[in-house]
Amino acid sequence: MAMLKAMMVVGVMMLGGAGATAGETRQMFDLSIAGLRVATVGLAVKQEGAGYSARGVLRGSGVIGSLVNLAFEGTVQGVAGADGALQPQRYVAVRGKGDKAREVVMRYAQGVPQEVTLTPPRKRSRPYDIAHGEQGGTLDPVSAAAALLPDRPAAAACERVIEIFDGTRRSRITLGARQALEGGMRCAGAYERVAGYSPKSMQEQTRFNFVLSYRAVGEVMQLMRIEMETEYGRALARRR
């Protein structure tokens, strides 16, 4: 499903029930498509000094979620610049369950993926494969979620570009100008497949438009909804 692929690349993750620890922030979302529950997703980010870490899990829910192999668990550690820009150092993620589980481990140096390990390994190279050493300046999916979802000042919520590399594929999130709403704001955006995807995937669709809706809480904006139109109907991620 288009929305599920996009949301997985954005890096949304679900976390279990206890409250956040000191210095940690959490968001949780319920994902539905055409009004049917699909998954529960969320994000947890912890910053200590110049370092950051993020962890999460996505699990299917409802009838559709129980029938489809929806699973994602990822962690990342890295450093944050004085301007808040994130630079991952080590990323580990597992998608799928059982014999369909796939693990990726990435290690970085100076913001460039230096080593990518896939388990199980690919049996052969593909004409559309891209070199991980040429993906400098990208974020892994979990770091991308950490850059996108947490509360932030209105001036920093929109008008951004986030480049993502998940170990085999490159994508991009572009956020447009903010629009004022009563009690908050919103901004339109797009998720785009860039490289490393099969020709079939690129022919099907390369751009997925969405809208982020925020509410004002004091001096910050809280992301409350992510909406996207798909061939299966409206996809909605709603913050709990």
Percentage of the chain surpassing pLDDT 70? 87
At position 87, the amino acid (one-letter code) is Q
When pLDDT is cut at 50, 70 and 90, the band that residue 23 belongs to is low
Distance CA(227)–CA(33), nearest Å, equals: 10
Mean pLDDT of the chain: 85
Q: Which long-range contacts (CB under 8 A, 24 or more apart) does 98-102 make?
A: 98/69, 100/69, 101/71
What is the predicted pLDDT for the residue at 228? 87
Cα–chain-centroid distance for residue 159?
17
Distance CA(218)–CA(205), nearest Å, equals: 39
Structure confidence by residue, pLDDT tens digits, 88-108: 999 999 988 888 899 999 999
- Considering only 33-47, 90-104, 160-174, which range has the smallest mean pLDDT? 33-47
Q: Find the mean pLDDT for residues 132-148.
A: 93
What is the predicted pLDDT for the residue at 10? 38
Q: Find the mean pLDDT for residues 194-221.
A: 93
Put simply, whether the predicted model's pTM sits higher than 0.85 gets the answer yes
DSSP conformational letter for 219: T
Residue 2 near residue 230 (C-beta atoms within 8 A): yes
